Amino acid sequence: MAAIPTTCKAAAMVGPGKPMELIDVRVPQELEPGGILVKMSMASICATDVHAWEGSSSFAEDEYPSILGHEMTGRIARSEGRTHDSIGTPLREGDRIVWTHGFCGSCLNCIVEHERTLCLNRRRWHGSTEEFPYLTGGFAEYGYVFPTSGCVRVPDDVPDEVAAAVSCALRTVIHGLDRVGELDDRHRVVIQGSGPLGLFTLARVVTGGPPDPIVIGGPARRLELARKWGAGHTLDIDEAPDPAERHAQVMEWTDGLGADVVIEVSGAKSAFPEGFEMLRRGGRYLVIGQLHGETFPFAPSDIVRKHARIIGTASAAVQHYHRALEFVRRHRERFDWMEMISNHYPLERINEAMVGMQRWEEIKPAITFPD
C-alpha cells in the first residue's frame, strides 16, 4: 500500500446537534504492539450514530471533537506484529478486516463471565481526536485497531458495504438471539422496527424456522423490503398510529395469545411498553434498540404475571462478527443484501447522509473514501 500520511480527513462531531466538520487528524506513525492501522474502505451509518449526533442517546459522546462511526471495514495499512485474525486466519497488508472495541481479556466479565461486551476495562471507540490513537471512529480515512480488539478478515466475496453494515447491526442481532435461546417453528415472533437491525433480525428469524414473523415499523419502503425478505405480516405505524390498534392486530395474527418472542430494534421511546403487551404468557422480550435514556411508568408485577423474560443486548464479541460474515455469505442467494444499502455518500457529504437517516429517508447509507 501507499506510504502512511501524517494526517487524514475525518468527519468530526463538534457538539450535539451541530453539523459535523471535516478536519485533519493525526495518523499514528508508531503503533502499540499488536495494533493495526487500517485505511478505511467503507463505513455505514447506524441510527445510534444519529442519536449520538443529536445528543439524544445515553451513549452520547462527552468529548469533542470526536469521530463517530462504528460500522466500518478497512484494509490493513500497517500491523505491529498481528499476523492472524481472531479465528486464526493469516493477515497480510491489504487484507480487509472488521474489528471490535478493545476488550481487556483479563477482568471478571471477560474471564469468568465470558461477557467481553461488559468488559470493565474496555478501550472504546469515539475517543478524542487530540489523544492517541486519534482515529477511533469509522468516519475517517484511516482507523486504529487496538491491540486488545478482536478482528476478523473479511472474505473476498463480501462487498464493502455489507461488511460494514454487519459489523454492527447483524453481529448485535446474532448476539441477542443467542441470548434469547431456542427459536423454531413453534414460535411466533414480532419484530418492532424495520430498519437495518429489524431487517437483519428478520433474515435470521426466517432462516431459523419461526413461521410468518410480524414486522412493525415504517416507512413503506422498508416494509416492502421486509415482505420481500419473508415477513408474514407487516404493520405500518403511519397507517396504524394507535398502539391499541397495533396490539389488536398482533393478537389477531397470533390467535389471541400474543407473541412467543418480541424483539425490539426500533429505538422508539414508546416501543418497550407496547412490545411487552404483545408478549404472551411465558414469552421472551429481547430489547436492543432502547438507547435513548428516557424513563416511563412500568409495573414489575406484569413481568411476574406473565412469567416473562426480558433480555437486553448491546454490541457483540468477535465470534459474532465472524458468524455475521458467514451468515451473509451463506444466504446471499436468498437475500440481496445490497438492497439495504440505500445510497452512497463521500465523506465530505456526511451531514447530508445523517439528515437522510434522521428523517427515515435512508435505510442504510454508505460512506465512501478515496482509494
Tens of pLDDT, residue by residue over 199-213, are 999 999 999 989 999
Residue for grid cell 438471539 = 177
| Residue 4: C-alpha distances to residues 76, 84, 142 (Å) | 11, 22, 10
Q: Would you state the pLDDT for residue 62?
A: 65
% of the chain exceeding 70 in pLDDT: 98
Q: Would you state the pLDDT for residue 127?
A: 86
Residue for grid cell 411498553 = 273
Q: Are residues 240 and 347 in the same domain?
A: no
Q: Report yes or no on 276 lying in a domain.
A: yes
CB atoms within 10 A of CB 352: 14
Q: Are residues 179 and 91 in the same domain?
A: no
Q: Report yes or no on 327 lying in a domain.
A: no
Arithmetic mean of pLDDT, 179-197: 97
What band does 296 get if pLDDT is binned at 50, 70 and 90?
confident
| Residue 332: C-alpha distances to residues 162, 221, 229, 303 (Å) | 11, 21, 12, 39
Q: Are residues 306 and 339 in the same domain?
A: no
Pairing of strands 71-79, 96-102: antiparallel
pTM, 2 dp: 0.95
Alpha-carbon gap, residue 189 to 191, rounded angstroms: 7
CB atoms within 10 A of CB 78: 18
CB-based burial of residue 135 (10 Å sphere; 0-12 exposed, 13-18 middle, 19+ buried)? buried
Amino acid at 250: V
The SS3 assignment for 327 reads helix
Range of the domain at 231: 171-312
Q: Are residues 151 and 181 in the same domain?
A: no
Q: What are phi and psi of 198, to 5 degrees?
A: -65, -40
Q: Are residues 12 and 153 in the same domain?
A: yes
CATH number at 47 reads 3.90.180.10
Assigned C-alpha cell, 32: 502499540
Q: Would you state the pLDDT for residue 124?
A: 86
Q: Are residues 99 and 209 in the same domain?
A: no
Q: Report yes or no on 325 lying in a domain.
A: no
Q: Would you state the pLDDT for residue 111?
A: 95
- Cβ(340)–Cβ(224) under 8 Å? no
Q: Are residues 217 and 143 in the same domain?
A: no
Assigned C-alpha cell, 198: 429489524
Q: Report yes or no on 138 lying in a domain.
A: yes
pLDDT digits (tens, 9 = 90+) for 245-281: 999 999 999 999 999 999 999 988 899 999 999 999 9
Q: Would you state the pLDDT for residue 291?
A: 80
Q: Are residues 144 and 175 in the same domain?
A: no
% of the chain exceeding 90 in pLDDT: 89
Q: Are residues 96 and 14 in the same domain?
A: yes
CB-based burial of residue 33 (10 Å sphere; 0-12 exposed, 13-18 middle, 19+ buried)? exposed
Q: Would you state the pLDDT for residue 371?
A: 86
Q: Are residues 140 and 99 in the same domain?
A: yes
What band does 58 get if pLDDT is binned at 50, 70 and 90?
low
pLDDT digits (tens, 9 = 90+) for 6-18: 999 999 999 999 9
Q: Report yes or no on 73 lying in a domain.
A: yes
Alpha-carbon gap, residue 21 to 25, rounded angstroms: 12
| Residue 178: C-alpha distances to residues 64, 173, 201, 286 (Å) | 36, 8, 12, 10
Q: What are phi and psi of 347, to 5 degrees?
A: -55, -35
CB atoms within 10 A of CB 115: 14
Q: Report yes or no on 149 lying in a domain.
A: yes
Residue 185 has pLDDT above 70, yes or no: yes
Domain count, the chain: 2
CATH number at 247 reads 3.40.50.720
Q: Are residues 222 and 102 in the same domain?
A: no
Q: Are residues 123 and 232 in the same domain?
A: no
Q: Would you state the pLDDT for residue 57?
A: 67
Q: Would you state the pLDDT for residue 319?
A: 97
Q: Would you state the pLDDT for residue 56?
A: 76
Q: What are phi and psi of 106, to 5 degrees?
A: -135, 5
pLDDT digits (tens, 9 = 90+) for 320-351: 999 999 999 999 999 999 999 999 999 999 99
Q: Would you state the pLDDT for residue 333?
A: 96
**Final residue of a structural domain among 312, 341, 360:** 312
Angle at 159 between CA 156 and CA 165, to 5 degrees: 125
User: What Rg do the C-alpha atoms of the chain give, in angstroms?
Assistant: 20
Q: Report yes or no on 19 lying in a domain.
A: yes
Assigned C-alpha cell, 327: 451468515
What band does 1 get if pLDDT is binned at 50, 70 and 90?
low
Pairing of strands 341-346, 364-368: parallel
Q: Would you state the pLDDT for residue 61?
A: 53
Q: Report yes or no on 359 lying in a domain.
A: yes
